[in-house]
Chains A and B, each alone.
Chain A
Amino acid sequence: METVCICCPIGCRLKVEKVKDEIVVTGNTCPRGKEYGISEFTLPKRVLTTSVVFNSFTLTLKTNIAIDKKLQKSALMQIKNIKEKDYNIGDVVIENILETGANVVVTGKLKNV
């Protein structure tokens, strides 16, 4: 499989193949690239970010770790349903979303937008 590493702005062109029982990544220039290559080959994951608008403020949110790419939309639906509460930056809004092991965390709080 050929892909592009999304870990940093360099965007290394990766080649990932299965040699015997081992997944071999080439083209990466750092250890994160190798890790990404393996994950992309087995179960592609992405960090999900979104925002939720309440009456008095807007929250921007992210998953603290990457989640299964295919679950992005269903995770988003769940995040959209959170109830208004006095959250602050860094607060966990949803724990272990869709059993992915990822927590949804507040990245920003915008008042009177």
Chain B
Amino acid sequence: MKTDVVVIGGGPAGMSASLEASKQGASVVLIDVESRLGGILNQCIHNGFGLKHFKEELTGPEFAERLAQKVYQSNITVMLNSYVNYVGKNKVFVITPNGQEEIECKSIVLSCGARERTAGEIYLKGKRLAGVYTAGTVQKMINFYGKLPGKNAVILGSGDIGLIMARRLTLEGVKVKSIFEIMGHSSGLRRNIRQCVEDFEIPLLYNHTITRVVGDERVEGVYFAEVDENKNPKLETEKFLKCDCVLLSVGLVPENSLLPDETKREKFVVVDDERQTSVDGIFMSGNVLHIHDLADNATEEGEIAGKFAGLYAIEKLKRYDKVKVYFSNKVSYCMPQLVNKKEDGKFTIYLRANDNFLKKYIKVKCGDVDICKKFCIGITTGEMQEVEVEYSKIQGDLFVDIGD
């Protein structure tokens, strides 16, 4: 099989990447491992999606359906139930229900999302008992199959998926006994604390963690304790809480194992403002690149990657000199890390702060000049910030800071 662009992953980022690549006039093959498009959106049955992208409040399945319809109305080739197991120079190998196939292509967009951090990765102490799940697994169990994980749940971590599941479990009749968050604040959205936790009076304990999970074959309870400033449990505060299942909402890890080994990485994979990696012709978008708060943002990033992957494939992508985006110790990371020195237009730098700030400016400097300054009432570590920069103002490397 031959095509211009292969897009791996049919979630919001992959679908929007396919649509944009196709709009440039490139032929596109979109591959997904599931039997339907939409990715994780299909199991996110709650509302709150789409306000930014569609200017309308939608549930996950509705958001997915809108993009999927556009994909099926276009001439994009969709390959479902298919799994890419190798990405090489100008080709991908895919395992389909009919066996392994090779697809020759000119550019590739990786949009295969992220996976949830597991019990092993956070060194959760205790035996390997039945009843310990990642929050997303339970979301799929309940929403797709109608199966509950237990009767009395404890949630470790207060990321958005954990908060959403606290509400979902409560409504389905499972008692959520407590949520433990090791940090002094939640990494989830404020509105989810309000509508998923406070609405149902679920205890949310900050600066607390699970010290061990106990039981015979199934979870019978957890020991939990307060943590000190170094996040070590203060064992004298340890207490026992009876429960029969534990949900983990302790972060997402980009699933970028398909990238060629030589791809340049820092904290995340290094991409430019067109979302191209250091390997020519390989682009990335969505949670496989960095973790987004909103499906809307992943969709927008897909559009960027798809557009330029399309132009690359039809040999219309111009080359420019690139500058680097550096950042201060108040910033945890910036995306993209490289920027093409184009003559006109704008691009967006996405960033996360290292700490919470009130009434500060996000500043983008070029040399000693502030080329962009954005006032923010509140900046939290949990919420991604964005700042728009004009290409014409870029003289050299950029420096992103938060200050007065």
Among A15-23, A68-76, A93-101, the stretch that binds chain B is A68-76
Q: Is the CB of B193 within 8 A of A4?
A: yes
Residue B35 lies at the interface, judged by CB distance under 8 Å to chain A: yes
Could you say which interface size class chain A belongs to? 20 to 34
Min C-beta distance of B99 to chain A, whole Å: 21
Q: Is the CB of A51 within 8 A of B36?
A: no
Min C-beta distance of A34 to chain B, whole Å: 16
Min C-beta distance of A9 to chain B, whole Å: 6
Residue A53 lies at the interface, judged by CB distance under 8 Å to chain B: yes
Asked whether A108 and B171 contact (CB < 8 A) given A9-B191, A60-B61, A69-B199, the answer is: no
Min C-beta distance of B147 to chain A, whole Å: 9
Q: What residues on B are CB-neighbors of A61 within 8 Å?
A: 45
Residue B293 lies at the interface, judged by CB distance under 8 Å to chain A: yes
Q: Is the CB of A107 within 8 A of B45?
A: yes
Residue B144 lies at the interface, judged by CB distance under 8 Å to chain A: yes
Of the residues B45, B172, B294, B383, contact of A108 by C-beta under 8 Å = B45
| Bitwise interface map of A from 54 to 69 toward B, beta carbon under 8 Å scored 1, else 0 | 0000101110000001
Q: What residues on B are CB-neighbors of A4 within 8 Å?
A: 190-191, 193-194
Residue A43 lies at the interface, judged by CB distance under 8 Å to chain B: no
Q: Is the CB of A51 within 8 A of B142?
A: yes
Residue B401 lies at the interface, judged by CB distance under 8 Å to chain A: no
Q: How far is the CA of A69 from the CA of B194 in the complex (A)?
A: 13
Min C-beta distance of A48 to chain B, whole Å: 8
Min C-beta distance of B143 to chain A, whole Å: 5
Q: How far is the CA of A50 from the CA of B383 in the complex (A)?
A: 27
Min C-beta distance of B70 to chain A, whole Å: 15
> Which B residue's beta carbon lies closest to that of A5?
B191
Of the residues A9, A47, A48, A51, contact of B143 by C-beta under 8 Å = A51
Q: How far is the CA of A48 from the CA of B61 in the complex (A)?
A: 14
Residue B189 lies at the interface, judged by CB distance under 8 Å to chain A: yes
Q: Is the CB of A107 within 8 A of B51?
A: no
Q: What residues on B are CB-neighbors of A50 within 8 Å?
A: 45, 171
Residue A3 lies at the interface, judged by CB distance under 8 Å to chain B: yes
Q: What residues on B are CB-neighbors of A51 within 8 Å?
A: 45, 142-144, 146
Residue B46 lies at the interface, judged by CB distance under 8 Å to chain A: yes
Q: Is the CB of A110 within 8 A of B171?
A: no
> Which A residue's beta carbon lies closest to that of B48?
A9
> Which A residue's beta carbon lies closest to that of B62?
A107
Q: What residues on B are CB-neighbors of A69 within 8 Å?
A: 199
Residue B59 lies at the interface, judged by CB distance under 8 Å to chain A: yes
Min C-beta distance of A105 to chain B, whole Å: 9
Min C-beta distance of B59 to chain A, whole Å: 4
> Which A residue's beta carbon lies closest to that of B383?
A9
> Which B residue's beta carbon lies closest to that of A62?
B59
Min C-beta distance of A70 to chain B, whole Å: 10
Of the residues A9, A48, A110, contact of B36 by C-beta under 8 Å = A110
Residue B249 lies at the interface, judged by CB distance under 8 Å to chain A: no
Q: What residues on A are CB-neighbors of B60 within 8 Å?
A: 108
Asked whether A46 and B199 contact (CB < 8 A) given A11-B189, A73-B171, A89-B65, the answer is: yes
Of the residues A47, A49, A72, A108, contact of B65 by C-beta under 8 Å = A108
Q: Is the CB of B45 within 8 A of A49?
A: yes
Q: How far is the CA of A73 from the CA of B172 in the complex (A)?
A: 8
Q: Is the CB of A11 within 8 A of B190?
A: yes
Q: How far is the CA of A48 from the CA of B170 in the complex (A)?
A: 13
Q: Is the CB of A9 within 8 A of B142?
A: no
Q: What residues on B are CB-neighbors of A89 within 8 Å?
A: 61-62, 65
Q: How far is the CA of A73 from the CA of B52 in the complex (A)?
A: 30
Of the residues A5, A9, A49, contact of B47 by C-beta under 8 Å = A49
Residue A81 lies at the interface, judged by CB distance under 8 Å to chain B: no
> Which B residue's beta carbon lies closest to that of A46?
B195
Of the residues A3, A49, A72, A108, contact of B42 by C-beta under 8 Å = A108
- The listed residue with most B CB atoms (<10 A of its CB), out of A50, A52, A108, is A108
Q: Besides A51-B144, A108-B45, A108-B65, 8 other CB < 8 A contacts?
A: A8-B48, A9-B51, A9-B191, A48-B171, A51-B45, A53-B145, A72-B171, A110-B36
Residues of A within 8 A of B (CB): 3-9, 11, 13, 46-53, 58, 60-62, 69, 72-73, 76, 89, 107-108, 110, 112-113
Q: List 14 A-B contacts (CB under 8 A).
A: A4-B190, A6-B195, A8-B51, A9-B293, A47-B57, A52-B146, A61-B45, A62-B45, A62-B47, A72-B171, A76-B171, A76-B172, A108-B65, A113-B145
